[in-house]
Amino acid sequence: MSETIFSKIIRGEIPCHRVYEDEAVLAFLDLNPLASGHTLVIPKEAVATLDQLSDESSAAIGRVLPRLARAVMAATGATAYNVLQNNGLMAHQAVFHVHFHIIPKFEGRGLGIVWQPIEVLPADLIALCEKIAKQAAEGTGKSHGL
């Protein structure tokens, strides 16, 4: 259970600029947008990070994300956008209720990205691939959280 400002928005205790709602999902405009149309898509299930989200809420989010991306593009005229999803303080998460940002990209506006790949050895890639694949195959258990 993760009680945050987003729980209050879901319950209607704090106003938001709502663009979409169904029984499992709410989407509203970000109050500090990186670009016009910057939208947050959240599950009503109150968990902090994506790895903690139930299959049902994940499916509900997945079902509407593309539709909401299309709506944001159509409304803003953007031809490019980023979907951002932060998990944990180190990953710039500020509100500990799972959320997806849809951020339209315009010239000089939108999400700025610094992409710094690490060096990796082929043997390490193979070992890591096996380790993650094993966890993914067995991964029906609870998340350890962040």
Binding-site ranges for ligand AMP (CB under 6 A): 5, 14, 16, 30-32, 40, 86, 92-95
Give whichever of 32 and 140 is closer to ligand AMP, judged by the CB atom: 32
User: Residue 30 CB, nearest distance to ligand AMP (Å)?
Assistant: 5
Six token digits for residue 25 = 């999902």
Candidate list 38, 92, 97, 99, residue with the active-site label:
99
Under 8 Å between Cβ of 41 and 30: no
User: Residue 66 CB, nearest distance to ligand AMP (Å)?
Assistant: 20
User: Residue 129 CB, nearest distance to ligand AMP (Å)?
Assistant: 29
Give whichever of 31 and 118 is closer to ligand AMP, judged by the CB atom: 31
Task: Quote the radius of gyration of the chain (alpha carbons, Å).
Answer: 17
Annotation says 99 is catalytic: yes
Give whichever of 50 and 73 is closer to ligand AMP, judged by the CB atom: 50
Catalytic site residues? 99
